Chain A
């Protein structure tokens, strides 16, 4: 009986091995020949938008579990008007450049700040005015940027808040005790709530959304003094002029006929933040 079990086990292992070898070979082959997809889009007429799905209200999961947001809806409308198939592709923000370069996404469109990145991408015209602000706890006694001296501050890795604090606004950052990078703003808020950090530097739109959705919004306050003012745009791979021009044309039409304003209202975004073409 024992010999039989042993023999059967051995047979199973050998057949698994053969299946494994064959399939591995097949997969390699398939993976390698996927070389005919969108450089300038419109290969299968799909428009793949890369976004950070943890960035409400610009791109996030709604109550039914679908990806939605101000920027995603704009993109969806652009696709509808051009007869493209809209694909919302959540990406790891760290990998956004590799994703764009390699063609696995056609553009980066969610609260994507132009300032500081002007030469790294092919940009659309700026369409949104944004501010980088600090969020602190209401009872922390911090009311201005000067109060942040000696405090622990956090921001998202690869964000424009980080870029600002490491670049033009380094003098502010130098007064901090520490400036820590976290993977996402939810983690930063957890740290803020628990006292593990004193302030979070982030986009005002996301800050307002996050605070509104907390159990007790009054716990938090956004400092009036902002770090920087900046503009959002749509980032395309350098050289992809045709796609950018087409999207730009459609977006301009959407501004003119009031579609953009309507979508902004749906997400509680003030019209003052929009930059008309």
Chain B
């Protein structure tokens, strides 16, 4: 295959990978916060439910979760699957999985804020909700940014797992081209694409960290 065809094919696959990446982040970041809230709640059953959720999502392979989310509706409810459901299943599975990881990151961040902040806020007359969203959460955001960066970079590469339910993301496309060409050069090109995208992600996250460095 000519090099320009290879690159345009890989870019097409990259678009799918980036779509999965952005949608997963969009949904799992907030969902993680909700789960973290449940995990730290005083209400026992809720706390246990969230603990179990996090344990299962982190403890089982993402590939298996993809298979369960996509084929589950057929094997459990007997619903016939459509081609559109493939992408939806990918987003659902990725979101649920990454939300569990983000939940623990959020929890770590929130628990690291010392009680002095809560006391000061109380003294200043902030309500519980105001305290959380205006005082605590911005500080948490600053603290967890390196961990979040780690997860985000992992997510870029994890998108390649969606091959298992036949999503044409970039690594699958690269493997197909490699098979047609009977060579592996294209896999190296694909690796380069991932690396370039990750450099961009790391650059953005680093900039974000710098702009939040308001104490230094």
**Chain A interfacial positions (CB closer than 8 Å to B):** 2-3, 5-7, 9-10, 13-14, 16-21, 23-24, 27-28, 30-32, 34-39, 48, 53-56, 60-65, 87, 89-92, 94-95, 98-99, 101-104, 184-186, 189-190, 209-215
Contact = CB atoms under 8 A, between A and B. Distances in A.
B115 interface: no
- Tell me which of B29, B71, B180 has the highest count of chain A C-beta atoms within 10 A of its own C-beta: B180
B177 interface: yes
Interface of B: 1-2, 5, 8-9, 12, 26-27, 29-31, 33-34, 67, 71, 73-75, 79-86, 88-89, 91-92, 95, 133-135, 137-139, 141, 163-166, 168, 172-173, 175-184, 212, 214
A188 to B, nearest CB: 11
Contacts of A212: 182
Contacts of B73: 31-32
A114 to B, nearest CB: 23
28 contacts: A2-B214, A3-B134, A6-B134, A10-B134, A13-B141, A21-B34, A23-B27, A24-B27, A30-B88, A35-B79, A38-B80, A39-B80, A54-B176, A64-B5, A65-B5, A92-B164, A95-B67, A95-B71, A101-B74, A102-B74, A104-B83, A184-B175, A184-B179, A186-B179, A186-B182, A211-B182, A212-B182, A213-B182
Given A16-B29, A92-B166, 9 more contacts: A6-B138, A16-B30, A23-B26, A27-B91, A54-B176, A89-B83, A95-B166, A104-B85, A189-B182
Given A65-B9, A98-B71, A103-B80, A34 B85 contact: yes
A95 B172 CA distance: 15
A37 to B, nearest CB: 4
A186 to B, nearest CB: 5
- Tell me which of B1, B9, B27 has the highest count of chain A C-beta atoms within 10 A of its own C-beta: B27
A5 B142 CA distance: 11
The A contact surface, by secondary structure, is helix
Contact of B88 (A31, A37, A89, A101): A31
B42 to A, nearest CB: 21
A56 B179 contact: yes
Contact of A27 (B5, B92, B176, B182): B92
Nearest to A27: B88
A92 B165 contact: yes
A209 B75 CA distance: 38
The B contact surface, by secondary structure, is helix
Nearest to B166: A91
Contacts of B139: 6
A36 B134 contact: no
B89 to A, nearest CB: 7
A28 B92 contact: yes
A194 to B, nearest CB: 11
- Tell me which of A3, A48, A95, A189 has the highest count of chain B C-beta atoms within 10 A of its own C-beta: A95
A238 B76 CA distance: 19
A71 B33 CA distance: 49
B7 to A, nearest CB: 10
- For the complex of A and B, 3 pairs with smallest distance between CB atoms: A6-B138, A17-B30, A54-B179
A209 B181 CA distance: 10
B166 A7 contact: no
Given A54-B175, A98-B67, A102-B81, A20 B182 contact: no
A53 B176 CA distance: 6
Nearest to A6: B138
B137 A6 contact: yes
A185 B92 contact: no
Contacts of B212: 5
Nearest to A103: B80
A89 B166 contact: yes
Contacts of A24: 27, 31, 92, 95
Contacts of A16: 26, 29-30
A10 B5 contact: no
Contacts of B178: 54, 186
B133 A48 contact: no
A90 B1 contact: no
A89 B214 CA distance: 52
Given A63-B2, A63-B5, A65-B5, A21 B30 contact: yes
